[in-house]
Chains A and B, each alone.
Chain A
Amino acid sequence: MVRWQRGLWWFLLPSFGLLTVVLLWPLGYALYLSFFDYYLGSSDRTFIGLGNYVELFTEARLWQSFWTTIIIAFGSVGLQFVVGFALALGIYKLKFSARLFTMLLFLPHIVTPVVAALFIKWILVSNFGLLDATLLGLDITPPDWLGDPIWAKISVILADAWIFTPLIMMVLYAALQTLDQSLIGAAQIDGANAWQILRHIIIPALIPAIIFTVSVRLMDAFRFFDTIYVLTGGGPGTATETITMYTYQLGFRMLDIGKASALGVITLVVVAIILLTINKVLTRIYRRGD
């Protein structure tokens, strides 16, 4: 390192300071609060060590909400990835109007998620929702989109996919622009068919972008709240109660800040483990491809 470069770390200070204030301090404070029996309505905080964690881990509700989160998060991100990738490929192959299609397909993502969820709710709501009423008008009895435990999960997954598929499509479409055309040309000369080109050239080339989109979307999906809150409120029963819905109930409805903080910390650790595993697996696939 040359002498003039030695002082460069000072330039990191503003970013680190900002990160400390907006991220590390709240995180540390949440971790600190998670060791207390702290009800917001009371001025007393009692140190209980790992009490909140033990209580949470022995609750069936925590495990149930974890499973619901995993089903919804993986279902939703999986669907978004498949559809988003297909759309990105489709637009990439388009000879004309690609920009117009991209813009139109991106529209659902521009709308605020809460507003988008409201749109969807008034489409799916039983009897007078747009889709529901249309099907009834055609003498088709639609499923109970938001009232049946299985359909409610499917509706929530579809709603999230509708909002976020455009983001995946856009990132993958941008990544496709960097694709080396000579590789595809060479493969075609060697007689590779479309599937072989996709499997052996396009997908390996897109792995960094895929890792990025899947990771970002999974992180988001684990914090999935607004759409569920608007569509089902976590119901019917507890069918769509995700881990963030449960954290919300604890923190904002029951004002049990200690336990809500502990749940936040648990969620953070679980999401970090899942993401690291996925990143590792995808990176290994990528390297093996090399």
Chain B
Amino acid sequence: MQNKVMSRKLALGVTSSLLIGSTLTVEAWAQDTIRIISHRQPALEYYTSQMEGALEDGRVSVELMPIDKELELASITMSSGSDAIDVLYLNDSSLKRFAANGWLEPLDDLWEKYKEEYKLGDFPQSVVDAVSYDGHIYSMPIMSNAELFFYRSDLLKENGIEPPSTMEEYEQAAEALDSNRMAGTIMSLKPVDAALNEAHWYINAIGDGWFDENWRPIFNNEAGVAAINKMKEMAEHAPRGFTSHANDESTINLQQGLAAMGLQWFTRAAAMDDPTQSRFVGQFEWVAPPSGGARIANDGFAISKFSSADKEEMFKMLAIAASQESMRKGAEYAMPPRLSVLEDPELAEKYRWYPAARQALENGKAFPPIPDFLDVGEIVTRYILQAVIGEMEVHAALNQAAEETEELLASRGYYD
């Protein structure tokens, strides 16, 4: 009996010690570890590994996931004021929304303090503006990204076609190259992000853009209708299943010779020359998207307002990951936003798509700089997709989208 009581006490003691021990360990881990969440893609894998390397082993915990999952997780965590996330990757649109919601730490003081040490003046003002909201810097710029026009130079040459510089030429080329086994062009129309990027190009290249100066929708005017009609026409030369294609599927279609050309991100260019993935190494060329207006973006890493970790330490970690040296290596994966790296002639020689990327940066357009643009995108892409697949007539679809957009923006105080 006594033995039983003893062993029960011993078991309780061991369990309690284990529980207390594990609680302490978890608490210590929670206090010391900097938790970073980010979208998964090659460039961000590289830069988050630079952040891990900036601090001693085990101090940084990185979780990579698809962008929509990351933004959901961040929105839920931050709206509850939780400190579970310390650093997060944000693109230009989501940055503005998060900053407007008061979820991000302004970096102005730290930026000023470490400007010399980390050569932060090397970032062009346009890039600093892209990571700012309401006059405050909220994010460390990590990469510029631009959509480029990818094309198979061998096919264009064979058919005597010049790389297109206008939408009309693009349509003619797609029509000429379209066949049973190869689509004339890729199109990424999976809802919502991929479709929004593609629509952004047409709305800017053929239409008059998304809004007037008072944030009233203009994408449903005559030019906007022409833009989506053109998109509908181009869909006839897209691969089967294009409405469920995002960047991955479109990249594979190009790499496997299932489509001849089309709009795709800069970050996918290197994969065209990767012999383990592409059947047409050396046969792709790039130009700025015809007629301009395709999406450009400046992405970075921001610090959560609710983080309980040392913000100065986190800023230094970000600055190290975004240093000139780090970005020179990272140039393989993404366009570095530092002038000193961007203008390096060696890089242009090494990476064949750099000249097109610089052109695309000049003739491209970022999303409208309002925190609610992604919500607008949710509404508009749905109607555009319905128009493209013939569920709705183009003009009616755009009018309905414009009406709902105005209602949304009015409810968020845009017209007060």
Using a CB–CB cutoff of 8 Å, the interface residues on chain A facing chain B are: 37, 39-42, 125-128, 144-147, 149, 152, 231-239, 249, 252-255
Contacts and interface: CB of A to CB of B under 8 A. Distances in A.
A254 B385 contact: no
Contacts of B253: 127-128
Q: How large is the interface on B (under 10, 10 to 19, 20 to 34, 35 or more residues)?
A: 35 or more
B312 interface: no
B239 A231 contact: no
A231 B191 CA distance: 11
B192 interface: yes
B97 A152 contact: no
The 3 A-B pairs of least Cβ separation, nearest first, read A126-B241, A236-B243, A147-B241
A232 B244 contact: yes
6 contacts: A127-B239, A144-B240, A146-B244, A147-B241, A236-B243, A254-B375
B382 interface: yes
A232 B244 CA distance: 5
Given A127-B253, A147-B241, A236-B385, 4 more contacts: A42-B101, A126-B241, A146-B241, A231-B244
B75 A252 contact: yes
- Chain A binding surface, main DSSP class: loop
A233 B258 contact: no
A239 B243 CA distance: 11
A285 B386 CA distance: 43
Contacts of A147: 240-244
Contact of A233 (B79, B97, B244, B252): B244
Nearest to B374: A253
Contacts of B385: 235-238
Contacts of A233: 190-192, 244
A254 B72 CA distance: 10
B371 A41 contact: yes
A266 B286 CA distance: 50
A147 B382 CA distance: 15
B386 A237 contact: yes
A128 B242 contact: no
Given A41-B101, A125-B249, A128-B252, A235 B244 contact: yes
Interface in B221-262: 239-244, 249, 252-253, 256, 258
Nearest to B242: A147
A232 B241 CA distance: 10
A145 B240 CA distance: 9
Given A233-B192, A235-B190, A40 B75 contact: yes
Contact of A126 (B189, B240, B374): B240
Contact of B243 (A40, A41, A235, A252): A235
A98 B97 CA distance: 57
From B192, B241, B374, residue with most partner A Cβ within 10 Å: B241
Given A235-B385, A238-B385, A127 B240 contact: yes
B161 interface: no
Interface string B278-310: 000000000000000000000000000000000
Interface string B166-189: 000000000000000000000001
A284 B68 CA distance: 46
B79 A255 contact: yes
Nearest to B379: A254
Contacts of A145: 241
Given A41-B371, A127-B239, A253-B374, A149 B391 contact: yes
Interface in B385-402: 385-386, 388-389, 391
B404 to A, nearest CB: 9
Contact of A236 (B256, B389, B411): B389
Nearest to A121: B244
Contacts of B371: 41
Contacts of B389: 149, 236-237, 239
Contacts of B26: none
A233 B378 CA distance: 12
Contacts of B157: none
Nearest to B375: A254
A181 B66 CA distance: 54
B412 interface: yes
B159 to A, nearest CB: 21
